[in-house]
């Protein structure tokens, strides 16, 4: 008996959101999407029962913009477990260790069930150290609920159950959006978190807001001369008080991503039986989308989380492995693997960092290598596991009755043509996105959303716009739904 036969009774019984029978009207899709978004914001504002106020250290730290959720809330783990489970499945699937054929309906059910099991396991493995390791989510010494008295260990267990429930709930919220709404739940949660930070970074008239210095000048609390001085000008350009360069970086990233989405190689198609019916298959520069960046950053987040756990629990941890100050790596192996979060992390000549120049340069080199190479590798995995590769694409074109003019109507011939473009564009696009993410982090972004978070938000919003336009077209022309198999 193979592992599929042994695990099938469990995997096929995993709870799942039922797929809609037939077409879901566009307005109903928007209603489901908006409802899940409201529920997400509601849950991020519910604090964990039993947690002490203050003193908590966010294990995800600067990764929070792309892993969604909220520190100290029911959605503490965010989409981290979902992304980590996807990484594990992609690696296993890429090495062909699972033996699952995603074109087989039975194997599809097993794959989805296995993904849910892995997410549940990852939620538990992520939540346990957050609650029971010291310094991350401090629990109250005692708690009284309805006359029942709970000790500290029981309070920690109660907090873990809340985090576990929130992580599992987020999994099914994502599934509801994917089946009944517009886009995907993961993309929706990332847009929500990044947009919230961007708006706060722009308008809050306090330290850390974009208009902080301007607000201080207008209210007479700061003189113009102090701003145009050497130190004041540096503050105005780079740091939270003015952030001119982060503003320009943010706008430039918006423009680059929108432009890159429009850069494509268009392969002409014609219908084999309907004379005059022609079309084009676009191979975009960012063919795999920006979503593989979530996988790369999630891997980095897990590495940094491991370092923080070791630092808090291992009193004699070797300095070569990691040196920490206020929960942040400042030396050792984990320092060099830590991403560049902001301009102050690498500008050694300003005195903002305590490390030597050669240490900072090593960290920059490692971050660039990790993001560029990792972006290319995960982009290839993403294309192959989402049926966007040459073989799957050729089969889809063949099934639609289309062919490439000047070539025989044969799936093997179409596949060879696709192999000229898709693999190369996938690698180039993945590496380009990784480079942009590091560059944006080095120059800073409004609201400290990180370069990866901004790239994801812009790309996902653009694709959401395209999907909404497609849904509206299908709604206006019902015959198109039948042609493209949307009914």
Confidence of residue 55 (pLDDT cuts 50, 70, 90): low
**What's the rounded Cα separation, in Å, for the pair 380 and 249?**
28
The pLDDT, as a whole number, for residue 238 is 52
For residue 108, the Cα-to-chain-centroid distance in whole angstroms is 24
Least trusted range by pLDDT, from 13-22, 133-142, 202-211:
202-211
The pLDDT, as a whole number, for residue 240 is 47
pLDDT at 1 over 50: yes
The pLDDT, as a whole number, for residue 264 is 85
**What's the rounded Cα separation, in Å, for the pair 28 and 9?**
34
Identify whether the C-beta of residue 79 lies closer than 8 Å to the C-beta of residue 85.
no
The CATH class of the 26-182 domain is mainly alpha
Residues 16, 22, 26, 30: what is their CA dihedral angle, to the nearest 10 degrees? -10
The most distant pair of C-alpha atoms in the chain lies apart, rounded to whole Å, by 80
SS3 47: strand
SS3 422: helix
Chain segment 313-346, per-residue pLDDT in tens: 777 788 888 888 877 888 889 999 988 887 888 8
pLDDT at 442 over 90: no
- Under the phi-then-psi rule, with left for phi > 0, alpha for psi from -120 to 50, and beta for the rest, what region is 444? left
Task: Looking at mean pLDDT, say which of 13-22, 116-125, 233-242 comes out highest.
Answer: 116-125
Residues 6+ apart with CB under 8 A from 421: 265, 267, 283
Chain segment 451-466, per-residue pLDDT in tens: 778 888 888 888 888 8
Task: Looking at mean pLDDT, say which of 65-69, 160-164, 238-242, 416-420 comes out highest.
Answer: 160-164
pLDDT at 487 over 70: no
**Mean pLDDT, to the nearest integer, of 135-151?**
82
DSSP code of residue 352: -
Identify whether the C-beta of residue 282 lies closer than 8 Å to the C-beta of residue 426.
no
**Mean pLDDT, to the nearest integer, of 149-154?**
87
**What's the rounded Cα separation, in Å, for the pair 240 and 212?**
8
Q: Is 275 exposed, middle or buried (0-12, 13-18, 19+ CB in 10 A)?
A: exposed
DSSP code of residue 24: P
Q: Domain limits of the chain? A: 26-182, 196-297+364-483
Chain segment 74-123, per-residue pLDDT in tens: 999 888 898 888 878 877 776 677 777 766 778 888 888 888 999 999 99
The pLDDT, as a whole number, for residue 169 is 94
- Tell me the whole-structure pTM to 2 decimals: 0.76
**What's the rounded Cα separation, in Å, for the pair 124 and 289?**
29
**Mean pLDDT, to the nearest integer, of 3-26?**
84
Confidence of residue 233 (pLDDT cuts 50, 70, 90): very low
The pLDDT, as a whole number, for residue 232 is 46
**Mean pLDDT, to the nearest integer, of 247-275?**
81
The helix or strand, by DSSP H or E, that contains position 269, with its residue range, turns out to be: strand 264-271
Identify whether the C-beta of residue 336 lies closer than 8 Å to the C-beta of residue 370.
no
**Mean pLDDT, to the nearest integer, of 153-179?**
93
The CATH class of the 196-297+364-483 domain is mainly alpha
Q: CA angle 181-127-182, nearest 5°?
A: 5
User: Do the first three CATH levels of 26-182 and 196-297+364-483 match, i.e. the same topology?
Assistant: yes
Averaged confidence pLDDT in the chain:
81
Confidence of residue 134 (pLDDT cuts 50, 70, 90): low
Q: How far is CA 464 from CA 43, 382, 456, 461, 477, in A?
A: 23, 19, 12, 5, 20
SS3 288: coil
**What's the rounded Cα separation, in Å, for the pair 66 and 79?**
8
**What's the rounded Cα separation, in Å, for the pair 296 and 290?**
11
**What's the rounded Cα separation, in Å, for the pair 442 and 328?**
17
Residues 6+ apart with CB under 8 A from 305: 59, 60, 126, 129
The pLDDT, as a whole number, for residue 190 is 87
SS3 325: strand
Q: Given CA atoms 348, 354, 358, 362 in this order, what sign does their dihedral have? A: negative
**Mean pLDDT, to the nearest integer, of 289-307?**
82
Chain segment 198-225, per-residue pLDDT in tens: 877 776 655 445 566 666 667 766 665 5
Q: Which residue is it, tokens 């879901």?
A: 24
**What's the rounded Cα separation, in Å, for the pair 450 and 448?**
5
Identify whether the C-beta of residue 78 lies closer than 8 Å to the C-beta of residue 69.
yes
pLDDT at 285 over 50: yes
pLDDT at 65 over 60: yes
């Amino acid at each position: 008996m193979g592992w599929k036969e042994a695990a099938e009774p469990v995997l096929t019984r995993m709870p799942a959101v039922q797929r809609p029978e037939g077409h879901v009207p566009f307005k109903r899709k928007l209603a489901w999407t908006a409802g899940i978004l409201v529920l997400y914001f509601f849950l991020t504002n519910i604090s964990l029962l039993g947690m002490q106020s203050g003193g908590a250290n966010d294990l995800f730290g600067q990764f929070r913009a792309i892993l969604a959720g909220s520190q100290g809330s029911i959605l503490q783990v965010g989409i981290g477990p979902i992304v980590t489970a996807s990484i594990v499945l992609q690696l296993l699937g890429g090495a062909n260790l699972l033996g699952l054929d995603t074109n087989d309906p039975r194997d599809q059910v097993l794959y989805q069930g296995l993904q849910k099991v892995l997410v549940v396991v990852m939620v538990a493995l992520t939540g346990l150290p957050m609650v029971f390791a010291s310094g991350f989510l401090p629990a109250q010494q005692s708690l009284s609920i309805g006359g029942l008295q709970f000790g500290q260990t029981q309070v920690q267990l109660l907090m873990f159950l809340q985090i576990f429930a929130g992580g599992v709930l987020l999994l099914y919220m994502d599934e509801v959006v994917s089946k009944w709404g517009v886009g995907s739940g993961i993309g929706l949660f990332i847009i929500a978190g990044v947009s919230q930070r961007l708006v706060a970074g722009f308008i809050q008239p306090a330290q850390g807001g974009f208009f902080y210095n301007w607000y201080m000048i207008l209210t007479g609390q700061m003189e113009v001369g102090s701003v145009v001085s050497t130190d004041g000008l540096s503050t105005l350009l780079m740091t939270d008080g003015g952030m001119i360069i982060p503003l320009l970086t943010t706008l430039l990233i918006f423009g680059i991503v929108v432009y890159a989405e429009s850069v494509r190689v268009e392969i002409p198609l014609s219908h084999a039986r309907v004379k005059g019916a022609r079309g084009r298959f676009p191979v975009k520069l960012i063919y795999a989308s920006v979503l593989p960046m979530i996988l790369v950053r999630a891997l980095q987040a897990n590495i940094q989380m491991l370092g923080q756990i070791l630092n808090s629990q291992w009193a004699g941890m070797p300095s070569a492995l990691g040196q920490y100050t206020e929960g942040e790596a400042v030396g050792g192996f984990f320092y060099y693997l830590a991403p560049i979060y902001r301009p102050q992390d690498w500008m050694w000549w300003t005195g903002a960092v305590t490390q030597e120049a050669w240490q900072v340069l090593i960290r920059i080199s490692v971050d660039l290598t990790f993001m560029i190479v990792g972006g290319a590798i995960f982009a290839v995995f993403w294309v192959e596991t989402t049926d966007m590769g040459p073989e799957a694409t050729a089969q889809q074109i063949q099934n639609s009755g289309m062919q490439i003019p000047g070539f025989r109507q044969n799936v093997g011939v179409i596949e060879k043509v696709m192999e000229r473009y898709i693999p190369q564009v996938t690698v180039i696009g993945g590496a380009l996105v990784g480079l942009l993410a590091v560059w944006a982090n080095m120059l800073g972004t409004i609201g400290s959303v990180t370069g990866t978070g901004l790239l994801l938000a812009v790309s996902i919003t653009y694709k959401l716009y395209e999907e909404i336009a497609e849904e509206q077209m299908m709604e206006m022309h019902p015959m198109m739904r039948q042609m493209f198999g949307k009914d």
